[in-house]
Amino acid sequence: MVFSIALHFLRDRSAAEEVAQDVFLQLHRNLDGLDPGRVIFWLRKVTSNRAIDYVRKRKLRATISLEDAPEPRSAGAQPDLLLQGRLRSLIATLPEKPRMVMVLRYQEDVMPEEIARMLGMPVRTVKSHLQRSLAMLREKIDRSMGDIR
């Protein structure tokens, strides 16, 4: 989960490994003071903050596509790989906080209330980020498709 959040946000395997290592080191240092029932929440929160900090410190932009990272396959219809790649590219253009909100909500399936607690922002702000980001992604997809429809 820690590596997955970092990888989907950073889009760079070595950066995600570095963030995950930092998170687990911090977990080891704080293990005695953590409530066992809140470890998952704590891990998501610290991973989100560390990934955002990593981008801000190193001015990292998406340089490695997620196509290089294996994803779990679900049973059923074949996914549209072209659309998935395009969506990943578009999500990577979002600012740090809205991008992390999108990754947590749609990649990690975290509810908005928990995202708000993790990122220290009001639930309305999380929902606003989701709504604006989805609208922006729809608009960019519509523009890129042109008059095909």
The answer to whether the CB of 135 falls within 8 A of the CB of 144 is no
**pLDDT 10s digits, 43-54:** 999 999 999 999
Per DSSP, 63 falls in state -
| Alpha-carbon distance values, 100 to 17, 57, 133 (Å) | 17, 16, 11
Stated pTM of the model: 0.64
Specify the pLDDT at position 62: 47
**pLDDT < 70 stretches in the chain:** 59-83, 146-149
Q: Which domains, ranges and CATH numbers included, belong to the chain?
A: 2-66+80-145 (1.20.140)
Cα separation, 114 vs 142, in Å, equals: 31
